[in-house]
Amino acid sequence: MSNKQLRPPRPVESERIPLKARNVSFSWEDTPLHWVPGDPFTTHTINVLHLLLPAGERWFVHVYKQALPLIRDDRLREDVIGFIGQEAMHSRAHDEVLPHLRALGLDPTPYTAQVDWFFEKLLGDRTLPPGRARRWWLLERVALIAAIEHYTAFLGDWVLNAAELDRRGADPTMLDLLRWHGAEEVEHRSVAFDLFTHVDGSYRRRARTWATAFTALVFLWQRGARFFMENDPTLVDGKASFRDFRRSGRRGTLPTTGAMVSSIPRYLSRTYHPSQECSSAQAVAYLASSPAALAAERAVS
């Protein structure tokens, strides 16, 4: 396997849009514990986002602030600054769901403490001397973020199209949080990959960090779903299994296993570029009708 890009990625220029952070807020008083009615497994599998994203997206912002001085392209710098603004807001919005879960009897602290350790210590700044080692660790983390963003865009696209959640009467405020976030993930889906390509772009690093990111995401996600199911005060002997996941995928309340598996070779294709996936027009259309995004717009005008 060569360490260099033999064929360059193929961006779709028309999919690029200027990025802006929307200062959204949500009221959780009326959102029930099982916000997908009668379906605690789907509810809690999606709730894992509230456990992972506050620390995860804070970490993105932290790493990208260190990467900014490496950028030699004004347009990319503007995109990265827009990305930082959006991710900081996402982190905050998901964090604000946690007190509501606590009030409903589901205290996520034991799990979020582990996630905080994962992002802040394991993936944090190490005491490396300035020079090659410090740069290597920064490039590894920039590549990891590009791989994770392949999945945030995948999930964003999925939730924008998950009509089954509406059919089952999912809580509108939670759906708006997920779709506002998902739409912004689709809007900025190319930024992390473009930054990685700009500062390094090595295929070997891309493949290696994909394997790390995918393994970590699967591990953290199934642990988080199990944590919620086991600690849900309304469930007796709550469990989360892969069989439940597959069943929810078939019903359309979670992504299908097949869609997740087929996303792997796309990221590992040498001509992959995130702009080939999802639809910026769909994301923009959702943001033009999102109650939270519209309220944020009214607040600034």
Give the residues lining the site for Fe ion (CB under 5 A): 87, 90, 152, 185
Query: In angstroms, what is the minimal distance from the CB of 269 to Fe ion?
Result: 21
Residues 6+ apart with CB under 8 A from 236: none
- Nearer of residues 40 and 82 to Fe ion, judged by Cβ: 82
Residues 172/16, Cβ–Cβ less than 8 Å: no
Residue 178 vs 260, nearer CB to Fe ion: 178
Shortest distance (Å) from residue 149 CB to Fe ion: 5
201's tokens: 């772009």
Q: How far apart are CA 260 and CA 274, in angstroms?
A: 15
φ and ψ at residue 122, rounded to 5 degrees? -60, -45
- Minimum distance of Fe ion from residue 19's CB (angstroms): 10
Q: How far is the CB of 94 from Fe ion (least distance, A)?
A: 9
Cβ-closest residue to Fe ion? 90
Q: What is the CA radius of gyration of the chain?
A: 19
Element housing 90 (H / E): helix 74-95
For residues 41 and 221, which CB has a smaller minimum distance to Fe ion in the complex? 221
Least CB distance to Fe ion at residue 90 (A): 4
Q: If 0-12 CB within 10 Å is exposed, 13-18 middle and 19+ buried, where does residue 213 land?
A: buried
- Closer CB to Fe ion, 34 or 90, in the complex: 90
Query: CB of residue 127 vs Fe ion: minimum separation in angstroms?
Result: 28
Distance set, CA 16 to CA 37, 109, 195, 202 (Å): 37, 38, 14, 23
Q: Which is nearer to Fe ion, 185 or 277 (CB)?
A: 185
In the complex with Fe ion, the residue whose CB is nearer, 107 or 120, is 120
| Minimum CB distance to Fe ion, residue 199 (Å) | 17
31 vs 152 by CB, closer to Fe ion: 152
Q: Are 147 and 197 in contact (CB under 8 A)?
A: no
Q: Kindly report the length of the chain.
A: 301
Query: Would the CA dihedral through 97, 88, 196, 190 be positive or negative?
Result: positive
